[in-house]
Structure 1
Amino acid sequence: MGKNWILGAVFVAIIASATTARADPPTVTDPTKPAPPAALDKPKDAPPSPWSFTAAYTADLLDNATGGRAEGGGYADLLKFSAAYDGSAEGHDGLSGLISVTNTLGSAFTANRVGAVQSVSANEAQPRAAHLYEAWLQQDFFGGKGAVKAGIIDLNTTFDVQETAALFLNASDGAGADLGDTGLNGPSIYPIPALGATFVYRPTEDWTAQIGVFDGEAGDPAHRSAFLAVRLDGALLVGQIERRFGDTARLEAGAWTYTASFPSLTSFTASGAARTVHGNMGVYGLAEGGLMQSDSGKSLSGWVRLGFANGDINVVEDYLAGGLVYTGLVKGRDKDEVGIALNRAGLGAGARETGLLQGRSIGDAETTVEATYRYVVNDWLNLQPDMQYVIHPHGDRSVPDALVLGLRVALTYTK
């Protein structure tokens, strides 16, 4: 796949915008609170349905223009179907639920082309497979101040949420690399969430405290293509406190730990086998919010995130990220967003020592700089050209810095 598809896609975007009436972009909603059903084709006095349905397809077309492990193209896509339940429509106040199924396709682009620790597309998942993604029930109590949720849960929908960073393609702008790259099969996040339970308490509108207990081994690493797999191997414990300042800013701090032991990257037996050790834990913090808001609706937002993990067990020991997002930069494109982000994944001692033993020149970190523009075509289609520059992929100084060009195509239908 060459670079011509990028120019072609941009041309298609211009034609589409010229022939499509511009509408407001899709509204981002809490999946626990389904959107009101459409009134079309229903009598005005018909009771509201407790169910809402969403179908979403996102495709990332990628090209490693230069550097990395190998030049060339690839793609990563995600098809997702969701059904959300709001029990208040049937007299079950405070009861809600969600069930969703995903299907992933595409190539292992980052591993094969870039060689980076941080995936250049959050859609990347191997092997290609369909999964029961989430299936949970939630019950509110204390007048809505508290809630208990149980089932198969994506941890990153409530913990370590980087709201401003959600614009970007890089996987570390979901869950930070210090947390997202832990566990034998990930920490109950995309592509395979785990069984878990969460408790949330909001004493005021500004403060939120929550804890979560998740299966310590999401899915089954030996059967990654299984539609549903549960192993119940230890637990992942997460706690987080959040302070909001109106609708414009918030602070977030969290900590996590696994109860199971993991292979060490720095301690070995006499035969050379890795010892299993406890202490797989870490902390993270986030500050984000609006920096500027004009009367015309233009706005500038930013964020900074910092995290630490045990570098004797995990590849990423420290993580620093931040960026800016501007809405309405181009005249007449009030809903479009443009942003720039930086993600620095600091490598732990174990990862560096392993690389040196393999004869590679390993540095302290891998850094990715990303620039992106989301072009809102209409209420169901977004096009997003993207560029990422990866410095020292996987910390390997012998690998040339990689320049990745991409285009995200996102389609959404909600009923």
Structure 2
Amino acid sequence: MNKSLCIVAVAGCMLFCWAPLSAQDGVSESAQDGASEAESVTASSTQPAEESPSAAAPEPFNLLTAKRMTGDWFGLRTDLEDIGFTFSPRLYTNYQGNFSGGENTAGAHEIPGRFDYNFELDLNKMVKLPGATFFFRLRQQWENSIVDDVGSDSEPYPTFGDNFYGDPNCIIVHKWHYRQRLFDDRLEIRLGKIDATDYIDTNEYANSSFTQFSNTFLENAPNVPGERGLGAVMTIWPTDWLYFVAMAVDPDNVDTKTGFDTAFHGPAHFVASWELGFLPAELVKDAGILPGHYRVGWWMRPGESEIFKDTLDGMLASESRWNDVGFYFNMDQVLWKENDKPDDTQGLAGFMRYSYAHGDVNRYSHFWSLGLVYQGLIPTRDNDLLALGFAQAVTSSQYRDAIDALADCESVYEMYYEIEVTPWFKIAPDIQVITNPGGRSDARDAFVGGLRVNVIF
């Protein structure tokens, strides 16, 4: 099928869904808690977004209480935001080391980093186009992670410089999209270079290896497609307590190219995903139910995938499967709050994931993770976080029988404590134990640790 026809079909499906939404009103005014400033335009699609409040009178700059290290630029930043231009640079870096086990411990430590330059254009303020924004991000990265020293399929810490061909001066357009909200924010459409993990299989407490758990197994399920490329996302909120996401993304994109060459030429390999989300606290708002999100999703990857089969060194013909599919369940839930103040998020929360993919073409047929996060455990440290997480990827029996008899589950245990030094500066030491790195029973269990630093400029 031609890729242009695929995009036309997606757009047509979106237009078909607009009509029944025109009668909806009464959008919730509550915004998602905890969405980072740098991701404000790409926040989780679990609730309609609130309109920006009127600007308050400026306060004197205080480095210890400011939300951004560079402050208001003597009023210039506020002036730019008033006309619709927001610039939010952010630095992520960490020390990471493999202290025991794995593939190698000699010199097995790195200090990689990443600089994101986030830009957002509010087209309502600029050209009177209601509900419209344009977001793009430039990214610069350096050094690599310790994943090769550990030998794991999970990345203990995000891979940085490997994506930039060893050039620390390389800056790429990481992602961009045009966003349009319609019908009192009941419908949202995004078109551009889409990161699938921003919209499906998201989680309030385990969805970013840069700001939450560092290990990628506690960021997203490894057997759920997480492509980044040209695509489209449609999100519908028929009510405050229910939403639906439909997405199509080109998986053939190359970071150093625009993506138009693969999206509009050659075979149609768009990965399609759908998610249905439920927010119990929004269904019965006066019943004292604590906030939580419950998601079920499914996906389809078109094209041909080779089936795991022992061909006896080529004596037997290989086999393949077309149109791989899978599904997942994902939830997060506040379990206990320290007080009843609506804006105070101190307390205990939990999360859980499960995902399934066909074991004849996917190394890991089952995956599950769970964990707990406590905000404000230490008195006077109200914004600090203590988190414990566990994740396990289960090797399919067909892969083990046909490809590698030593294949096994890879499991991850992680604990971190994030310290808010100032609102714009956070550090988080963490430790991890990875058993059967690489999903092999003969691998040495690894003990790794690190120190993460986040700075909002």
Structure 1 residue 306 displacement after superposition:
0.4
Task: Identify the residue that residue 396 of structure 2 maps to in structure 1.
Answer: 348
Q: Which amino acid aligns with 1:106?
A: E
- Equivalent residue for 1:170, pick from 208, 212, 215: 215
Per mean C-alpha deviation after superposition, the further-off stretch among 27-36 and 73-82 is: 27-36
Structure 1 residue 46 displacement after superposition:
9.0
Partner-residue secondary structure (3-state), 2:142: strand
1:267·1:275 contact (CA, 8 Å) conserved in 2? no
Structure 1 residue 45 displacement after superposition:
9.3
Whether 2:407 is the aligned partner of 1:362: answer yes
Query: Which has a greater percent of strand?
Result: 1
Please list, as runs of the form range in 1=range in 2, the aligned pairs for 1:25-40 lying within 5 A after superposition: 30-32=40-42, 38=72, 40=74
Structure 1 residue 289 displacement after superposition:
1.2
2:200·2:275 contact (CA, 8 Å) conserved in 1? yes
Cα pair distance change 1:28/1:336, threshold 3 Å: farther
Q: Which amino acid aligns with 1:175?
A: N
- Equivalent residue for 2:262, pick from 214, 226, 231: 231
Structure 1 residue 147 displacement after superposition:
1.4
- Equivalent residue for 1:196, pick from 231, 234, 240: 231
Deviations 1:348-392 (A, max 9, x none): 2354246536xxx322x1100000011111122111101010011
- Equivalent residue for 1:55, pick from 85, 89, 93: 89
Task: Identify the residue that residue 335 of structure 2 maps to in structure 1.
Answer: 291
Task: Identify the residue that residue 12 of structure 1 maps to in structure 2.
Answer: none
Cα pair distance change 1:74/1:264, threshold 3 Å: farther
Counterpart CA distance in 2 for 1:135 and 1:27 is 16
Whether 2:144 is the aligned partner of 1:107: answer yes
Counterpart CA distance in 1 for 2:77 and 2:183 is 35
Cα pair distance change 1:93/1:39, threshold 3 Å: farther
| TM-score under structure 1 length normalisation | 0.81
Deviations 1:141-197 (A, max 9, x none): 122101111110111111111111142101123221121xx5xxxx32xxxx20100
Partner-residue secondary structure (3-state), 1:177: coil
Structure 1 residue 27 displacement after superposition:
5.3
Structure 1 residue 264 displacement after superposition:
2.7
Task: Identify the residue that residue 306 of structure 2 maps to in structure 1.
Answer: 263
| TM-score under structure 2 length normalisation | 0.74
Partner-residue secondary structure (3-state), 2:404: helix
Partner-residue secondary structure (3-state), 1:117: coil
2:136·2:176 contact (CA, 8 Å) conserved in 1? yes
Please list, as runs of the form range in 1=range in 2, the aligned pairs for 1:12-27 lying within 5 A after superposition: none
Counterpart CA distance in 2 for 1:26 and 1:259 is 33
Please list, as runs of the form range in 1=range in 2, the aligned pairs for 1:128-139 lying within 5 A after superposition: 128-129=164-165, 130-139=171-180
Counterpart CA distance in 2 for 1:385 and 1:201 is 38
- Equivalent residue for 1:65, pick from 88, 93, 99: 99
Partner-residue secondary structure (3-state), 1:93: coil
Partner-residue secondary structure (3-state), 2:381: coil
Deviations 1:279-327 (A, max 9, x none): 4221011121101101285311101110011222222211100100001
Task: Identify the residue that residue 330 of structure 1 maps to in structure 2.
Answer: 378
Counterpart CA distance in 2 for 1:356 and 1:300 is 41
Task: Identify the residue that residue 251 of structure 1 maps to in structure 2.
Answer: 294
1:78·1:123 contact (CA, 8 Å) conserved in 2? no
Partner-residue secondary structure (3-state), 1:89: helix
2:80·2:86 contact (CA, 8 Å) conserved in 1? no
Partner-residue secondary structure (3-state), 2:423: coil
Structure 1: unaligned runs, 5 residues or longer: 1-23
Q: Give the aligned CA root-mean-square deviation in angstroms.
A: 2.8
Partner-residue secondary structure (3-state), 1:152: strand
Aligned residues: percent identity?
18
- Equivalent residue for 1:81, pick from 117, 120, 143: 117
Counterpart CA distance in 1 for 2:79 and 2:248 is 43
Partner-residue secondary structure (3-state), 2:197: helix
Task: Identify the residue that residue 14 of structure 1 maps to in structure 2.
Answer: none
Counterpart CA distance in 2 for 1:286 and 1:377 is 31
1:371·1:388 contact (CA, 8 Å) conserved in 2? yes
Counterpart CA distance in 1 for 2:76 and 2:92 is 30
How many residues are aligned here? 370
Counterpart CA distance in 1 for 2:158 and 2:78 is 41
Cα pair distance change 1:117/1:174, threshold 3 Å: same
Counterpart CA distance in 1 for 2:173 and 2:418 is 29
